[in-house]
Amino acid sequence: MKRYWRWGNFPIPQAHVSLIGVGVILNALWPLTFEPGGPWLTIVGIALVLVGVALMVWATAAAGQVELADPDTLVTVGPYEMSRHPMYVAWTLVYLGLMAILATGWLLIFLPILAIWVHWDSGREEQRMVETFGAAYQDYRTRVRRYL
């Protein structure tokens, strides 16, 4: 499988972006912030965002020219060897990092909604993979964890 960058594989997931946007807007209108946690909270947040972005880049590079929205090949290399959904993991790290950096309780309140939304989306994706790749995906699913 050739390894080329495909920008279409760099995701902008609805769940994460929507809830971050709503949380930031609500925080601007009705601030709901954490108690000051000192600079360590910002440092942890920045680290989570950086790790999340690095994981996105790695997963995008590992997918190469495979179109992840409608794959014709099962991607099982790179971060896909450890997680069936590394992009969701990456975006959740970014979400958690932004929650820490912004110190907003709105993103904390929305965290369970995010978890349910992501789990539902990933379940739908997995069903499509079973339909597309059959036994090969079933085998992959038994070997690799869903998230971490």
Specify if 118 maps to a domain.
yes
Cα separation, 130 vs 141, in Å, equals 9
Specify if 105 maps to a domain.
yes
Specify if 2 maps to a domain.
no
Return per-residue pLDDT of the chain as tens, 148 residues.
455 656 677 778 899 999 999 999 999 999 998 876 678 999 999 999 999 999 999 999 998 888 888 899 999 999 999 999 999 999 999 999 999 999 999 999 999 999 999 999 999 999 999 999 999 999 999 999 999 9
Directed axis angle between helix 105-133 and helix 14-29, to 10°?
Answer: 170
User: Residue 87's closest CA among 61, 64, 55?
Assistant: 55
Specify if 97 maps to a domain.
yes
Cα separation, 51 vs 97, in Å, equals 9
Q: How many CB atoms lie within 10 A of CB 145?
A: 10
Stated pTM of the model: 0.92
Please tell me whether residue 20 adopts helix, strand or coil conformation: helix
Specify if 56 maps to a domain.
yes
Please tell me whether residue 33 adopts helix, strand or coil conformation: strand
Specify if 136 maps to a domain.
yes
Q: How many CB atoms lie within 10 A of CB 76?
A: 15
Which domain, by its residues, includes 73? 14-143
- Domain total in the chain: 1
Q: Give the helix ranges, DSSP H, for 37-83.
A: 39-63
